[in-house]
Chains A and B, each alone.
Chain A
Amino acid sequence: MFDFISFIPRAIMQGIPLLFGSTGETLTEKSGNLNLGIPGIMYVGAISGVVGSFFYEQSGNMNPFLTVAIPLCCSLLGSLLMGLLYCFLTVTLRANQNVTGLALTTFGVGIGNFFGGSLIKLAGAEVPAIVLNATSRFFSASLPIAAKLGWFGRLFLSYGFLAYVAVLVALAAAYILKRTRVGLHLRAVGESPTTADAAGINVSKYKYISTCAGSMIAGLGGLYYIMDYTKGIWSSDAFGDRGWLAIALVIFTVWRPNVGVLASFLFGGLYILHMYIPSGMNLAVKELYKMAPYVVTIIVLVLSSMRNKRENQPPASLGLAYFREER
């Protein structure tokens, strides 16, 4: 029998980093910026938090509030800087977004592994990893009543606070995009910056703010992964290719963060499906199961382009720099 009670919480925990990443990327793409630097930004978000909490743990005192606040602020700051760098290059200097994004990913993953590696040396541990048990305890703490409520508690209440933040942020982003004036302006910027500019909307400002906010949200995904999912253990390349999966998720949800909540759990499930499908001794087949999230994304991509419904299309100016004086 397929063990749903243990599968679903694992799937959700896998899905949360993807949810952060895809919410951030959706906000970014709605402003017309295709930020392929998200995988790098998530690495930076993770390592900034790790660096912050590492030095705080070293200092000895463990004020519960600061233990959470310091990594959180470091992570937000780190990913904000990456977002600003991307914006400066693509919005102010109007550089090619694909190239800038890929460079940002190289840079970000490099930063993550570099500082991670340096900290590992500094910690002098025997295993090549940084262990931040004390900090992680605060991040992964769930409500005490969760354990008493049986399957209900396990399915809905057993996660650290960042998981709930992810869902709230996604819902808030969906609301802002769909129902508020700011969201309308933002979508206008992404669809047709020329029109938005003519209507008196400050295109650069919207692009900057949404991309930076998007980066910060995505960076939290990296932080969640380290602090909650892996219980505070950083090792090189630990975060893997989840950043790309988050970008895939944006397409899968057709640019709707509220759909992303369930979709990310689905992706999380697909990501760990291979551990739960009984395949006996045949390890090779497991590798094929790992294709699932990517295959599903391609199918959605193809279907949405075949149906060609107007509300399911990418923002019209996605990937293009805006220059007012260009015809």
Chain B
Amino acid sequence: MNNKQHTPLFHVSKRGALPWYGSWAIRGGAVILALMVSALVTNLLTGENPVNVFTTIYKGSFGSARKMWVLGQNVAILLCVALAVTPAFRMRCWNLGGDGQMLAGCLATAACMILLGDKIPNWLLIVLMLVSSVVAGAVWALIPAIFKARYNTNETLFTLMMNYIATQLVAYYIIIWEVPKGAGKIGIINQSTNAGWLPQVGPSKYLLNIIIVAVLTVIMYLYLNYSKHGYEISVVGESERTARYVGIKVGKVIIRTMLLSGAVCGLAGMLLVGGTDHTLTTTITAGRGFTAVMVSWLAKFNPVWMILTSFLLVFLSKGGSEIASNFGLSASFGDILTGIILFFIIGSEFFINYKINFRKSGEKEAK
């Protein structure tokens, strides 16, 4: 009989809290590793040397003044959606409906611009756009929230389905408002009058959005970390039972937080339609509701770190499409790069939360 005592090669155990620089060193390492893998993949597919690849990625975002503004705009909108979904995530309420809530906001904004374009003063129109988009986004989040609070309906899947309902609703109105009839698209709204276009601040039409989102980031940081509401959200997220025990009305917190989530998504939609795009399509959100989930999670639901993570993701996707257009590859190359980076960062979380204890060589001898 084999009576040898078998010790596994390694043993995984939970780690105590790492100091912040430790965890960010691990994440940084993962990003560097991922960039190396990305360079390798690009090298295999294009035969280009890695230095050129990185230069091209860099140029995709910083190649010209215009590209830098576009980068800023994309980061701002993505960050805005990420800020929106974060309060819900802190509560362990997986709101995957960022896309739908944003689309609802886009739709409300476009509706105001098209229907009221020349009928009311511009400032009133912008106020109306703001209010209606925030309300529309909030309502889109409220529906799943009520059922979550009342019947504990799975919010992940509910909000996911709400995305497609929003998409179809937008598709419906696009056909109703299409210009010219039969074109199947709306085109630029109020091209001649600029009614409802958010005013341009400074050198670029993108600057206003960037400023608004920057302010929002600070507000959200304070709200989550230094307000009573933020505290309640954290308690509900840690343990619903504890929350109930200390007298927090869990249902109320869920509904309030989801309302906030949807409202900020709606605002993001308004910034997109009123501020920069001035049009409405079913794909206007470009899947940001999903990307925002990753932005928020990668930053550990911390609004300040989210600036960094949303920048990283936008930077990569811009870099990917730059590589694609320079080397004649499909534009989806950016998605592949993003995927690789995400997998590495997701994987690196393991090494932050757990440690691997290798079998000591002494024990190996003694067995």
Contact = CB atoms under 8 A, between A and B. Distances in A.
Contacts of A284: 172-173, 175-176
B339 interface: yes
Given A295-B165, A314-B154, A117 B346 contact: no
Given A113-B330, A114-B335, A294-B161, A326 B168 contact: no
B327 to A, nearest CB: 11
A290 B336 contact: no
Interface stretch (B201-209, B227-235, B248-256, B347-355): B347-355
B290 A106 contact: yes
Contact of B349 (A93, A114, A285, A308): A93
A306 B165 contact: no
B96 interface: yes
Contact of A247 (B157, B175, B339): B157
Contacts of B116: none
A103 B287 CA distance: 12
Interface stretch (A94-102, A144-152, A161-169, A262-270): A94-102
Given A248-B157, A314-B154, A113 B164 contact: no
B161 A248 contact: yes
Given A99-B297, A294-B165, A326-B14, A94 B346 contact: no
Question: Is the contact region of chain A dominated by helix, strand, or loop, or is it mixed?
Answer: helix
B238 to A, nearest CB: 15
Contact of B340 (A100, A107, A285, A326): A107
A189 interface: no
A5 interface: no
Interface in A36-86: 36, 85
Given A106-B342, A314-B154, A326-B14, A302 B335 contact: no
A306 B294 CA distance: 31
A116 interface: yes
Given A89-B347, A110-B338, A294-B165, A287 B332 contact: no
A37 B347 CA distance: 16
Interface string B158-187: 101110110011011111100000000000
Contacts of B315: none
A301 B297 contact: no
Given A99-B293, A305-B147, A325-B13, A107 B342 contact: yes
B275 to A, nearest CB: 26
B69 interface: no
Interface residues of A, number: 58
A110 B332 contact: yes
B168 A287 contact: yes
A199 interface: no
Interface in A174-206: none
Nearest to B334: A110
B293 A291 contact: no
B10 to A, nearest CB: 12
Contacts of A236: 330, 332
B347 A93 contact: yes
Interface string B26-48: 00000000000000000000000
A107 B342 CA distance: 9
A209 to B, nearest CB: 21
B156 interface: yes
B329 interface: yes
A211 interface: no
A34 interface: yes
Contacts of A36: 96
A110 B13 contact: no
B343 interface: yes
Given A107-B336, A110-B336, A294-B165, A99 B346 contact: yes
B330 A116 contact: yes
B197 interface: no
Contacts of B175: 283-284, 287
Contacts of B298: 99
Contacts of B157: 247-248, 251, 297, 301
B90 to A, nearest CB: 14
A294 B165 CA distance: 7
Contact of A302 (B151, B169, B328, B329): B151
A308 B151 contact: yes
B153 A302 contact: yes
A244 interface: yes
9 contacts: A34-B156, A98-B156, A102-B294, A103-B294, A103-B346, A106-B287, A110-B338, A111-B339, A285-B172
Given A93-B347, A114-B335, A319-B156, 6 more contacts: A99-B342, A107-B336, A251-B154, A284-B173, A291-B164, A298-B161
The 10 A-B residue pairs with the shortest CB-CB distance in the complex, in nearest-first order: A110-B335, A107-B339, A117-B330, A113-B332, A93-B350, A103-B342, A284-B175, A287-B171, A305-B153, A287-B172
